[in-house]
A and B are shown apart, each in its own frame.
Chain A
Amino acid sequence: MEGIDFFTLFQGFGTMVEGGWILAVARLVLIALGGLLVYLGWKGVLEPMVMIPMGLGMIAINTGTLFMPEGGLGNLFLDPMLSDTDALMTSMQINFLQPVYTLTFSNGLIACFVFMGIGTLLDVGFLLQKPFTSIFLALCAELGTFLTLPIAHSLGLTLKESASIAMVGGADGPMVLFTSLELAKHLFVPITVVAYLYLGLTYGGYPYLVRLLVPKKFRAIKMKQTGKVKNYPAKVKLAFAVILCAILCFLFPVASPLFFSLFLGVAIRESGMKHIMDFVSGPLLYGSTFMLGLLLGVLCEAKILLDPKVLKLLVLGITALLLSGIGGIIGGYIMYFIKKGNFNPVIGIAAVSCVPTTAKVAQKIVSKDNPDSIILGDALGANISGVITSAIITGVYITIIPLL
């Protein structure tokens, strides 16, 4: 009994003392941040489905640190750094989230599940009506993805790390996860955490950017319908999914799991397989998103995030998203001039992927200034194109960056 002291009995406190003050402060900050995320998720400021499990995971992992039998600090959740097969097998028998992490997260399966679910939410009819306009806006809204690459490299990151963090500009969580797993596995935890944190902020932050860059008279533009609104049948949308999947997988085999997952979702939606559609758009999408949030939270262990590069990643992530938003609005203005005033530039912000948040944000902003102006159809077309262009850039980066 004499050997048992307070810090051995209550190892949460013991590990605080043992790890040194820097680690202790970082753990306290992350515990507080976790609490804040839960609160903001509960308030609806951030996406609750991701933020509540993520926040709680952050709290649990940073409070539940213990002394390991072989010495050092550890936890009973998971160890993301394991690569040795024997150690991995041992860990999978002990750490309760290790199987989920190893078999679904670190190989990108969960990103593909989320993408499949997103595919079932996409009505490609909007894109079929105005493909060139939508794709042009989406390409403009990738400004941050391109410009952040040289900026990150000039700040000292390697090309692969720079490309991974630049993908935050594509505003697509699964895409960032996939790119960082392929190009910068050692940094994929902080990059993905930064990406999801910022993506949660787009709903609150982009309206300010739009109001700053688009004057009220432009925001209130009511677009005149020039052509007949077509309602494409399911077989056309199915053909669209099949053709595009084949072309994009052919062009970028490295990103083919993502393309396949996205277009499989679209195909499921359009082929009338009701039970599969219900499963993919419900339990699979929401279950994967929930598990993604949970794993991201558990991965926010202080010693992993105490990488000096994390601060740079935080700055670069917000830079990428900001530049992409500006690029989207510039695209909106270009279309406004091309269409001789019959285009609302706010639609440009919807081209920043993040389905369907940015499309809803665009409609909300426009409705506030002119309740008669309905842009949701065009915004969703641009939004869906944003997913496709982000996937294209993922393919371009994963293929070309290792060659540079």
Chain B
Amino acid sequence: MNLYLATFLMMLFTFFIGFLVAGVIKVTALAADKQEYLELNKDEIKRAHQLKKIRIKRLKQLLHKIESGDPQYIQEYYHGVSKGDSHYTVLDYYYSPKAPEQTPSYEKEEDAPDYKISKNK
């Protein structure tokens, strides 16, 4: 084989091995970073796992009850949430001088006071 070609191929092979080694080093470094992250945030991660488990459990219970058609449960579940006929937005709840339940209801939208930020436009 032509020596120049053979040298070039050996060079390419060395580059390949070199970058393979660099890749292994990078993977080692990334694994180390991940392990460090996990160790530093051990408590938060544990808590998040527990919360996730509880949420899944509750969701499963909810789905089960919805599927079984328990209207009382559905009503309880939607307690305090607008049933869809309110003119107020979340901002009204937080920024109106009175709490929403104490705010007088208006028959027409134009009767509402100016501070109301009505519907996203």
- A pairs with B: yes
Q: How far is the CA of A3 from the CA of B10 in the complex (A)?
A: 63
**What are the 7 A-B residue pairs with the smallest beta carbon separation, nearest first?**
A131-B25, A135-B22, A236-B32, A131-B22, A128-B29, A132-B22, A139-B18
Chain A residues, Cβ within 8 Å of B32: 128, 232-233, 236, 239
Chain B residues, Cβ within 8 Å of A247: 20-21, 24
- Chain B CB within 8 A of A129 CB: yes
Q: How far is the CA of A317 from the CA of B25 in the complex (A)?
A: 32
Within 8 A of A (CB), among B1-56: 1, 3-4, 6-7, 10-11, 13-15, 17-26, 28-29, 32-33, 36
Within 8 A of B (CB), among A128-177: 128-129, 131-132, 134-136, 138-139, 142, 146-147, 149-150, 153, 159
A153/B3 contact (C-beta < 8 A), A135-B21, A139-B18, A248-B21 known: yes
Contact call A135/B19, Cβ cutoff below 8 A:
yes
Contact call B22/A142, Cβ cutoff below 8 A:
no
Residues of A participating in the B interface, judged by any CB pair closer than 8 Å: 127-129, 131-132, 134-136, 138-139, 142, 146-147, 149-150, 153, 159, 230, 232-233, 236, 239-240, 243-244, 247-248, 251, 388-389, 392-393, 396-397, 400, 404
Taking the closest CB of chain A, its distance from the CB of B39, in whole angstroms, is 10
- A–B pairs, 21, beta carbons within 8 Å: A128-B28, A131-B22, A135-B18, A135-B22, A136-B18, A139-B14, A150-B7, A153-B3, A230-B29, A232-B29, A232-B32, A233-B32, A239-B28, A243-B28, A244-B24, A247-B21, A248-B21, A392-B18, A397-B10, A400-B6, A400-B10
Chain A residues, Cβ within 8 Å of B24: 243-244, 247
Taking the closest CB of chain B, its distance from the CB of A351, in whole angstroms, is 11
Contact call A396/B13, Cβ cutoff below 8 A:
yes
Among residues of A, the one whose C-beta sits closest to the C-beta of B1 is A404
Q: Tell me what chain A mostly uses at the interface: helix, strand, loop, or mixed.
A: helix
Contact call A244/B29, Cβ cutoff below 8 A:
no
Chain A residues, Cβ within 8 Å of B13: 396, 400
Contact call B25/A240, Cβ cutoff below 8 A:
yes
A131/B26 contact (C-beta < 8 A), A150-B4, A153-B3, A236-B32 known: yes
Contact call B21/A396, Cβ cutoff below 8 A:
no
Contact call A393/B14, Cβ cutoff below 8 A:
yes
Contact call B21/A142, Cβ cutoff below 8 A:
no
Contact call B18/A138, Cβ cutoff below 8 A:
yes
Among residues of A, the one whose C-beta sits closest to the C-beta of B32 is A236
Among residues of A, the one whose C-beta sits closest to the C-beta of B4 is A150
Taking the closest CB of chain A, its distance from the CB of B8, in whole angstroms, is 8
Chain A residues, Cβ within 8 Å of B18: 135-136, 138-139, 388-389, 392
Taking the closest CB of chain A, its distance from the CB of B12, in whole angstroms, is 10
Chain A residues, Cβ within 8 Å of B1: 404
Contact call B15/A127, Cβ cutoff below 8 A:
no
Contact of A236 among B3, B4, B19, B29 (CB under 8 A): B29
Contact of A230 among B25, B26, B33 (CB under 8 A): B33
Chain B residues, Cβ within 8 Å of A129: 29
B68-80 toward A: CB 8 Å interface, digit per residue (1/0)? 0000000000000
Contact call B3/A132, Cβ cutoff below 8 A:
no
